[in-house]
Chain A
Amino acid sequence: MNPSRLLSALAVLLLLPATARAEGGCEQWLSPALAEGPITFGFLSADVATGRRACPRTEVGFGVQGGAIIETENFYGSVTGAALLSGSYAVRPDLEVFATLEATRFQFVQNATLTGTTLHLGQLTVGGTWVALTRGAFVLAPSARLQLPTSFASPRTRTLGAEVGAALLYRPTNRFEVHGYVGLDGDMGLGAGPALPRAGFLMNVGTEYALCSGFAAVLDANLHFGHRAVLDYVAPALGLRFRAGEHFGAELGASLPLVGAERALAIGGLKVTYRM
């Protein structure tokens, strides 16, 4: 994909004015502190190429996520872990801005018997979701996300990326939803090295059911194309979501790539949120 076009489109989208108001599906949920939408742990940095929820919320969160590639036949191994700070702010009922920062990113990489580690500030993503359409239990919310070149992983090269997508929500009751997300993501390198622009396409569909106001389970299916290969992965994801009190929530999730070129054996994470 031509990175110039992608970035131009992104700039235009972000400059569009708000046109709709949130109501319906977003308003009926069993417990405000119980997380909603797709599982937020992905295969890339921060929250890049993860499904975004449709409904604007105001919350702050702290979490950890990680993944591992272990390929003994290729004498290669990589373990990545990151501490995430995240937050979102519902500017209006139909508009949310959000950000996720890899406050620390740890990597252990092994080449045969040589090993190395890094610990550094990771990527920051900022974005917004705009509820464009609400019809009864349905919600359609386009979103855009920028991946900012904040990582100190290399003094020589930075990564800049962007993502546009749309979240879909169908919530017929206050304890059950079907969600989905499609998104186009891209990134490129900044620095003396090659830009190597890459683009991907994410499809997410999933469902969440709240057994009670304090616990919900979510099951997602994620398909991603174009980052490593035509098909990066078909990866089911399972999440368990909890609430404690009026404001605190927690999410424990994991995803396992079954098909595709993704090399990670699995990814997973834990996130604690305080919803306001």
Chain B
Amino acid sequence: MSSPLRLLAASLALLGLTLAGCKKESCLGNDENCRVVSPCEKLSYSCEAASGSMLEVRTLTPTDKRVGSHDPVPGPETVPGGLNALGARGDILLGNDRAVAVIAGLGNTNLLDPNGGSLLDLSARGKDNDGLNQVLQVVGILPGDAAHYTSMKIIDERPTRVAVQFNGTLDGKPEFPIHTIYEMRPCEPGIRVRTEVLNTAVDPQLWALADGFYWSGREALPFTPAEGSGYQHPSFSLLSIGNAFKKFPYLTAAMASDPASSYAHVACGEADLLEGFQSDQISSSGLARTVVQPRDYLVFERFLAVSERGDVAAAADLALEARQKLRGEEYVTLSGVVTRNGAPVSTSGREVSVLVSEGELTTTQANRVPWTQVTPDKEGRFQARVPAGRDYVVELHAFGRKVADRQLDNVNADTDLGTLAVSSHSRLTVNVVDWVSNAGLDAEVFLVPVDDTTLKGTEGSLHGRFGTCAPWLGPPPGPSPACNRFLVRNGTATVDVPAGRFYLYAFKGPFWTIDRKTVSFGIEPTTTVELALYKLALQPLNTVGADLHVHGAASFDSSIPEYDRVLSFSATDLDVIVSTDHDVIYDYAQTVRELGLQNKMSAVVGLETTGHILWMKRPGASVPLVVGHYNFWPLEYDPTKPRNGAPPDELVEPGELFDRVKESAPPALRDQLLVQLNHPWSDAEFGRDLGYPRALALDTTKNLPASDDGTSAGMYVRTPKGGFANNGQHAQEVMNGTQNDMLLPYRAFWFYTLNQGQFAAGTANSDSHSLTDNTVGVPRNIVYTSTRPGTSFNTAEFNKALKAGESFGTNGPVIEATVDTASGPRRFGFTPFAPAADAQLRLRVSAAPWVPVEEVRIVVNGNVVKTLSGTDLFHPEDPLDLLSVESKLMRYNGNLALSELLSGVSGDAWVVVEAGARLPLAADFGGPDGKPDGIPDTGDNNGDGKVDRADIAEGSSYGPLRTPAPPTSEASSQFHFSQVVTGGYPMSFTNPFLLDRNGNGRFDAPGVAAQ
């Protein structure tokens, strides 16, 4: 070998020896006890000397209580609160003089976080305005792309900095170490974060190292300055998500509720721009997608700031300030005043908004770059920062619509825009009273455009998000007013409304009359409207009306303030509300008391477990799944515990989950526990099934096996841990949501389980998350029980009745039914009985005049055997007439011979009574597993009066099922109903009568052959 080659080889060998022995910076060498370097080296805020004394870092203990958590055990509230506050014992609190953060402690799992280490809360100091569900470090969209931290170290270097470092690997992948440090320094409006992830495997990886923001809808909205973006983001599915990635200088997200908050996310390391995808559900914001070679690594440094206002500008101002410090980018401030009717705006301001975009008036929206959005203060003033030296278009929006715009050229200095004028509006005051006593009522008022001109002239949205409303009075997920409705407390409410001609509907649940007035706005600055309601004698004696599925701000997908939430219970005249927030236990009792409702309303403490982390494999499928959603109550609320005391609910089959929840309850409550299967056949959201039967793709044309036979059906019936079986729920939803759009699949599945001898009580719940997605209490359960709502309410008695099937579900019609036996009439329920030889089904169906009842159906073993309609039923002429209204409630009162109903049916039989509108046409073309499964999946989508393959959406093998369009003509019997029961149609159903016809003392289930 020649000398040069020898020299080269020897030099390389020596170089390798040298480099291999070098100590690695930060944790890039994945050394044990390594320390991640401080993030955002170039970021510097000037500080008062005393600011350092406000730094704090500590692990939360059982004595730490969140502000506003209504801990039953009194004590000082030491942890910031807010709509999404989750901080609990074992979590880590970091704080400075401007912000306070809570990071999940090791083992404190929340939502998508496998083992702690995610950012749970970030509030402005003293504002208790946490609006974050969760921010976690991810490298992709799969469960295994999230960090699973296994060790943690608190770093206390006061007065300079406080920090906590988490070390671990990507979840289930030890070959990918990951380290994250959260750090706070004095006088900074947020938290610094640095994450390092290493590829120690031998294959390249595709990573998008980012912060995953879990908004989950109805919460903060992501806003990114990029061409055609702002609030607008490309829609995507799991398969097309790669196309939704965009680059942007910062991400902001603002929570349009109370307390308000907004966040700014800025890269502060080597990366200049962030990259990610945005949606109402989830955002990713981080490094560009990178092919990471073996032994390579990624480092992501960012600053997450929090403000105390609920508009984009509050966060964007912080983002631009940070970018000025980091990269020297200059910004200018735009300011002005918004007036209405010649005076500064003076309401909550949510209905007025100023959007600033880079571009010119001639530039299309798709080519503008929205930089900020600002909501004027109570004096109508606004100011917002934008990058210097650019052309801008300033748009003024009111009631969800653009009302003015203006162009600013080459803005190089702070600029006063002067006055922006909003078009005329009216201030509306409504008084809603009891028609008999004239006492002010808690109620809900809906505004409905009278004509097409008003509809088109008032339809608006929150800059294109959260759907459209006419009129748009406020953000649909937020407090009252929301969308086209508002709450009335003790008979009075005042809101601002746009010009137009509207119906005003007053509503107080299905068992009251509704009142309607027609009003024109825009002529007079103020208008007062009187509305009166009358409680009808509809709800049977010895019953309570209960909504068993209700969400509030404690849920990750709800931002309705607690006051509005509880007031909405009263506004629809509910007796019992089970709080079933996602993944956290919650208790409304304190607010019920604060509103003085404790003597007529009972709030039961419950939980909705919600599968987030994909893990479950069903036979024959490779895509991992979750087990869906289940409700549990009663439980104990302890806000000092993670998830307020709820047990971890990920990575377990339903039966084990039921066991866990039962075990987590105090001994006195365990025997009362009621488990409800929610929306059993709901469509999956973002790859997460919402119902276990649908996740398993059960084939309801086949009988369930007696035990696990290795099939999906076997998974459904098996007992994973020796306690509950996976199908051990006591109740399952048949009606879910005010729209009730999935009634037919839920009903079909319930009928299937009844045919299998699985007696879970059918329930009807709103699943309400706000004032607009569903109206709380619509539908509801009417439960036959001796306990009364109020302070003496007995949950054990209530649950006992529910478990026994002694209830019916309704959004209006009331069904009272008995069957004759030798010992007298028997109501429906899960105790089998032998009917008398000449037994009659004695039936009374009643409803408020505005609730049309088109059909009464008798269902035997899943088949409709008799339908009463037309002249069989009474139909009130004027749904709004109060005269002799009590005499117009009964729609059917008669007897049907059981022998006639059971003609052709051999053996034992179950009977369910339904009443309401005609059911929409539907057929079964496929299902999750691709073949007909006995569950309706496709509606008459082309409106030709039949359901065939022409109704199937293009590119799909089945579906969809759509809610019937609401009537537009007042001539329709459902016109008034659809104005206050948005998107719904009348429906009620009883639980089954179990007829032991062969008298053997038990009910012998008919199986699928019966249908």
Contacts and interface: CB of A to CB of B under 8 A. Distances in A.
Contacts of B240: 113
A190 B206 contact: no
Contact of B204 (A73, A107, A128, A191): A107
Interface residues of A, number: 56
A196 B295 contact: yes
B238 interface: yes
A4 B19 CA distance: 11
Nearest to A4: B17
A148 B202 contact: no
Contacts of B290: 116
Interface in A212-238: 227-228
Nearest to A264: B203
Contacts of A190: 15-16, 19-20
Nearest to A229: B202
Interface string B208-222: 100000000000000
B334 interface: no
Interface in A101-116: 107, 109-116
A11 interface: yes
A110 B142 CA distance: 12
B205 A109 contact: yes
B585 to A, nearest CB: 33
Interface in B180-222: 198, 200, 202-208
Interface string B131-151: 000000001111001000000
B203 A7 contact: no
B297 A192 contact: yes
Interface string B1-24: 110011001101111110111001
A188 B20 contact: yes
A193 B145 contact: no
Contacts of A112: 140-142, 145, 238
Interface stretch (B25-33, B369-377, B882-890, B969-977): B25-33
Interface stretch (A31-39, A51-59, A153-161, A251-259): A153-161
A77 B560 CA distance: 43
A137 interface: no
Contacts of A197: 20
B420 to A, nearest CB: 43
B296 interface: yes
Contacts of A115: 206, 242, 289
A114 B140 contact: yes
A93 interface: no
Contacts of A159: 293-295
Interface string A141-181: 00000101001011011011010000000000000000000
B289 A114 contact: yes
B292 interface: yes
B20 A107 contact: no
B291 interface: yes
Contacts of B145: 111-112
A195 B13 contact: no
A113 B238 CA distance: 7
A160 B297 contact: no
Interface in A78-131: 78, 80, 91, 95, 97, 107, 109-118, 126, 128
Given A110-B206, A193-B24, A194-B29, A97 B1 contact: yes
A154 B296 contact: yes
A14 B6 contact: yes
Given A113-B241, A114-B206, A194 B10 contact: no
Given A193-B198, A193-B297, A114 B6 contact: no
Interface string B230-265: 000000001111100000000000000000000000
A107 B291 contact: yes
A41 to B, nearest CB: 18
A8 interface: yes
A111 B15 CA distance: 35
Contact of B297 (A118, A157, A198): A157
Contacts of B208: 114
Nearest to A17: B1
Interface string B282-317: 000000011111111100000000000000000000
Interface in A4-49: 4, 7-8, 10-11, 14-15, 18
Nearest to A14: B9
B293 A153 contact: yes
Contacts of A193: 24, 28-29, 198, 295-297
B242 A192 contact: no
Contact of A111 (B20, B140, B294): B140
B453 interface: no
B296 A156 contact: yes
A157 B296 contact: yes
Contact of B10 (A14, A73, A195): A14
A260 interface: no
B24 A109 contact: no
Nearest to A192: B28
A15 B29 CA distance: 33
A61 interface: no
A15 B21 CA distance: 24
A188 B292 CA distance: 16
A206 to B, nearest CB: 25
B903 interface: no
Contacts of B906: none
A75 B25 CA distance: 32
A70 interface: no
Contacts of B13: 7-8, 10-11, 162
Contacts of B622: 72-73
Contacts of A109: 204-206, 291
Contacts of B28: 192-194
Given A11-B10, A112-B238, A115-B206, A154 B17 contact: no
A157 B1 contact: no
A69 B203 contact: yes
A117 B290 CA distance: 8
Contacts of B238: 112-113
A148 B12 contact: yes
Contacts of A111: 139-140, 142, 145, 205-207
Nearest to B177: A194
Output the residue of A10, A188, A192 with the most chain B CB within 10 A: A192
A18 B2 CA distance: 11
B142 A75 contact: yes
Output the residue of B28, B145, B242, B291 with the most chain A CB within 10 A: B291
Contacts of A116: 206, 289-291
Nearest to B19: A190
A188 B203 CA distance: 14
B6 A15 contact: yes
B568 to A, nearest CB: 39
Contacts of A80: 204
A4 B13 CA distance: 8
A154 B19 contact: no
A160 B142 contact: no
Interface in A185-210: 188-198
Output the residue of B2, B15, B240, B293 with the most chain A CB within 10 A: B293
Nearest to A161: B16
B621 to A, nearest CB: 11
A18 to B, nearest CB: 8
Contact of A15 (B10, B12, B15, B19): B10
Contacts of B291: 107, 109, 116-118, 153
Nearest to A162: B13
Nearest to B20: A195
Given A4-B21, A15-B6, 7 more contacts: A3-B17, A14-B1, A14-B10, A146-B12, A160-B16, A189-B295, A190-B16
15 contacts: A4-B21, A11-B13, A14-B1, A15-B6, A73-B622, A91-B2, A111-B145, A112-B141, A151-B293, A153-B291, A154-B296, A157-B297, A162-B13, A189-B294, A194-B28
9 smallest beta-carbon distances between A and B, as pairs: A189-B295, A109-B206, A11-B13, A7-B13, A111-B206, A14-B9, A154-B296, A157-B296, A195-B20
